[in-house]
Structure 1
């Protein structure tokens, strides 16, 4: 069975689909998307067109439905200036409202893609790195809320794998800029913590969901998928139940664990960035 693989693929899709648009070919070969002309204007004072309002409403609907894969595809499909602006402003606004972990992940990926395709917005790379660092901290801070411990365990590995280019870019910055980004990520996580409620995305895709989905749908819980190269026999994948709601621990149990985790955050970010920086130097030294 490859049910767990299906679950993890859905979890990764939120960022991977968007990042693929920026990494599918070298930056100089990418067809540049029209830049969001009003990107420098504060989102709070921006007047949105009917089309932009529809985009934002659609993203809100997909998020509410837990349709994470389609959310990622919708963001990845944004290609013109007004659409990209709507996507960026939506990601920023929802992140600052304390929305699900999936939002800063998708927002970070869209920032990265926009910067890759529009050199005049290269500074967005630093913002994308900030959002990736913030998402990493949110994962560590809020994972104690999950009743199923297996659910968030893969998240840190997923973030480090899929968002490695974003964090590596931060690692290569001059010390002053790097410190500013990490300090901002630390402050942002702490400031937004009271706004972040129970996060279905963070606490899904674990063993308990696999068990519950199989119990709920019985034989219909699995569908056959085409075998990949090298695989033998039937390949069965677990269906994705958008209505699934994970269980959460009471606050008196997770709050002490969150406080302990937060105390280690400066060390966590430093270790991650130092490791990525060392890897970059090693790679650059190879002939």
Structure 2
């Protein structure tokens, strides 16, 4: 099944859903990414799990961001997509970089809907030393949006909507997930990359330390690890889920029962 579109939480999202059973993995991409960021994971993980991935608001082919963006809106987008697809049971959310922040807020707001979290190089706020450079980047993006000129991402690719990129960066500046992290109650895996210069292992370890019972790993990879080393990441996720007692086809660990109601966007 190819990509499709769905209306959720007041916006239109491009998504791909490959059902394989009751257990669903939701893949939430990084800033500047799109659902294709997880192409390498779906090949192996999709053999045993249902896989849902989507372009976040302001990314890929989903609707652009109008005005500002909050982490609550991004989390409600995820809940709305699940509702629209009638996926009411708890899901395992895999979030990359800023996508990990979306996963965290989603699990904090609707704990009954999050069976487990996998946080890949989580971007849970702005590193203090990067604030000046980030503000300069935002100003360039906003100027590009006003003038209609071309703006480039850090990897040199052209940004389709610099205004959405600027709004996403502004959200990161004011992001504070301290309470969310402390309140997480589901199994959580936090993975850092040895070659990650954006969110180095020491920074990621600080995030993991704030989550009760979280498992923390350092992998031989970079920041966008789902793209750079998909086989390694897929194997890591599979091992974590297996050790946590999850069985493909079941959304919760073996022997555990739970219930979750639908959430309106």
Shorter-chain TM-score bucket reads: 0.3 to 0.5
Larger helix share, 1 or 2: 1
TM-score with structure 2 setting the length? 0.32
TM-score with structure 1 setting the length? 0.31
Greater CA radius of gyration, 1 or 2? 1
